[in-house]
Chains A and B, each alone.
Chain A
Amino acid sequence: MNLLESPPQTGGPTIWEEMRARGVSRRDFIKFCTWMSAYLGLEASGVADVVKALEKKRRLPVVWLHFQECTCCSESFIRSSHPIVADILLDKVSLDYTETLQAAAGFQAEECLHRTMKERRGEYLLMVEGSVPMADEGIYCVIGGRTALDIVQEAADGAKAVVAWGNCACAGCVQAAKPNPTRATPIHKVITGKPIINVQGCPPIGEVMAGVVVHLLAFDRIPQLDALGRPKAFYSRRVHDTCYRRPYYDAGLFVESFDDENARRGFCLYKMGCRGPTTYNSCGVMRWNNGVSYPIQSGHGCIGCSEAGFWDNGPFYQRLASFPGFGIETTADQIGLAVGAATIAGAAAHAVLTNVRKQHEIGEHPGESASLAPPPAVAEPDDQAKE
């Protein structure tokens, strides 16, 4: 999907030139490229492509919008472990508009946004953090007198591609949990006709965000996406598949409660409601905070924050979610057992009824009940005529 054709290389320093001007050594630059290539899942020869791209390409104009969100995606991004990662977005791409980090305010900020949208039309990347409220004509998120829906649709119109950061922009996250009072809506449902990359997680891992940006910079192309629009390089494996506690799962050794002996031994957290088996993310591989740890390593199950609707799949400490429409704590098992018991009771009652109502039908000798039956052709002679 080569949707991101390179803009004409007219003037201005390339990314590498800018880095060098800021004192980044060639060695650090190559290290960074190697590191990013590894995250992107490229083969060793792919490093050269990344190096070449960053040497030749100019800064990428970016508009970063914030709607219904908590800014944890931005926080995650600027705390990604490698210093160049923060640089790459904050300096190397031209971050023309972002409410959180820009110095400009008010009219200046709006002016800046509109200038980028006009002058770099068809070139800039739109990055969105947060969902868009649709209830009551979108009044629950208004910036500069305009609704989020209005802003995002205008900004998306001239964008090359859209990156949806985090669960809010990809699936609505907590504000879209039932009953979703503001009708918080993910970006892919309000924008059509543009390639959209869902970078899932609450927040996404900083290195994953950087990896997506580098991919877009280096290859001018949307990365391979899964069926839910997430880059396959980071979201093709379940947390479960890369979990260091997986051997305990296969051995059937589980933590039964958070304070038991098995928890101390570091057994699998499956029975504590861990969502690892149904969650696609890179936590088990990249981990968080400079690779220090991730929830399961810290003794807590995965809550599935990179999956749509994870707030509604609760409680988090229960392996089977409560079932929609049956009260807060009712699981499939309770419903199934109730229906099963009712079925058995119904069958028993029916058996009693049968013995009462059909006692003359049930013969002790073969042929008896048949002898009571009038031939069917006689019973309903009009049947044949109707056919």
Chain B
Amino acid sequence: MTPEASPAALSPAAAAPVFKRVYVWELPVRLYHWLNALCVLVLIVTGLLIAHPPAITSASEASFSYWFGVNRFIHFATAYVFVFNFAFRIYWGFVGNQFSDWRNFLPLRRAQFRQVRAVLRVDVLQTTNKPIDAVGHNALAYFTYFAMFLVFLFQVVSGFAMYASMSQAWFPQLFRWAVPLFGGDYGLRQWHYMAMWFFIVFTIVHVYLVFYHDYVEGHGVMSSMVGGWKFVHPGTLKGNGRSWFPLSPKPPRNDVKPPPR
């Protein structure tokens, strides 16, 4: 079963152009995504517990229990996984395919801003239905992820700066300089906590938009982060400067990799 054959067979309009399978998200990107999602979830839950520990009325000795210490340990350990996973993703921006290329994330080219305007018209305001021909993310999404990376960075810096005084390890000590910038640990904790709400709000919007794009466009956005493949219109792949940003010399790997079966 070739990828071209199946949609056409099912479509009532047999003459309609068919979707083409494109390998968009490489395995390391997908692993990064899900590990990151897990880390963020764990960090939010343990972080909220640190901020708002539940009321426990107990007459037992403190030495019988250590749950709050364990909770904090999980938070700190997960932070390490989060930061190295994040560092790996940045590395992959330099060696991965053109959809994960670091240059997509920076607002450098006019074509990117054109697409941002198009996305605002089509997906946010919905004043037009002209489809956005983006294979990876669209330009607005790339910029949003760049902003998200900055928040990641802030969260890493502020978190490890607070952690530095509790740790002998060299890594947290690298972030001590951030303490005076916030006037002390208290300001750091305040902003670290505030930034957590960004993660919550981001997750709401992110999950909603995945549903939205999957529902409206039928490109298989939802499953692409599992299998790596998206289904796009062949015209999108012509490389007209809007489809994606062919900044890397590598040709798009549409159907270079054979379907697994």
Contacts and interface: CB of A to CB of B under 8 A. Distances in A.
Given A228-B180, A321-B186, A347-B208, A253 B17 contact: no
A357 B197 CA distance: 31
B253 interface: no
A377 interface: yes
B16 A370 contact: yes
A275 B8 CA distance: 66
A367 B8 contact: yes
A111 B16 CA distance: 99
Interface in B191-233: 193-194, 196-197, 200-201, 204-205, 208, 212, 215-218, 231, 233
Nearest to B211: A351
Interface string B40-54: 000000000001011
Given A320-B51, A375-B235, A358 B165 contact: no
Interface in B22-58: 51, 53-58
A332 B194 contact: yes
Given A309-B184, A367-B11, A371-B11, A361 B216 contact: yes
Q: Is the interface of B mostly helix, strand, loop or mixed?
A: helix
Nearest to A265: B59
Contacts of A354: 126, 212, 215-216
A371 B130 CA distance: 12
A162 B59 CA distance: 51
A238 B165 contact: yes
A16 to B, nearest CB: 38
A344 B190 CA distance: 24
Contacts of B17: 367, 370-371, 375
A261 B56 CA distance: 11
Contact of A307 (B54, B186, B194): B186
A323 B58 CA distance: 33
B84 to A, nearest CB: 25
Interface in A279-319: 279-280, 304, 307-310, 313, 319
Interface string A202-228: 000000000000000000000000011
Contacts, number: 214
B126 A368 contact: no
Interface string B158-199: 000010011000000000110110011111111001101100
A367 B19 contact: yes
Contact of A251 (B64, B126, B217, B243): B64
A271 interface: yes
A280 B188 CA distance: 14
Interface stretch (A3-11, A59-67, A125-133, A333-341): A333-341
A319 B51 contact: yes
Contact of B68 (A250, A321, A370, A374): A250
Contacts of B186: 275, 278-279, 304, 307, 309-310, 313, 321
10 closest A-B pairs (Cβ-Cβ)?
Answer: A336-B197, A371-B16, A375-B235, A252-B68, A278-B185, A250-B69, A247-B62, A251-B65, A251-B62, A367-B7
Interface of A: 171, 227-228, 236-238, 241, 247-254, 256, 261-262, 265, 270-271, 275, 277-280, 304, 307-310, 313, 319-321, 323, 332-333, 335-336, 339-340, 343-344, 347, 350-351, 353-354, 357-358, 360-363, 365-380, 383-384, 386-387
Given A279-B186, A383-B114, 13 more contacts: A241-B165, A271-B53, A278-B186, A309-B187, A332-B197, A335-B194, A336-B196, A340-B204, A353-B126, A365-B12, A371-B16, A376-B238, A383-B240
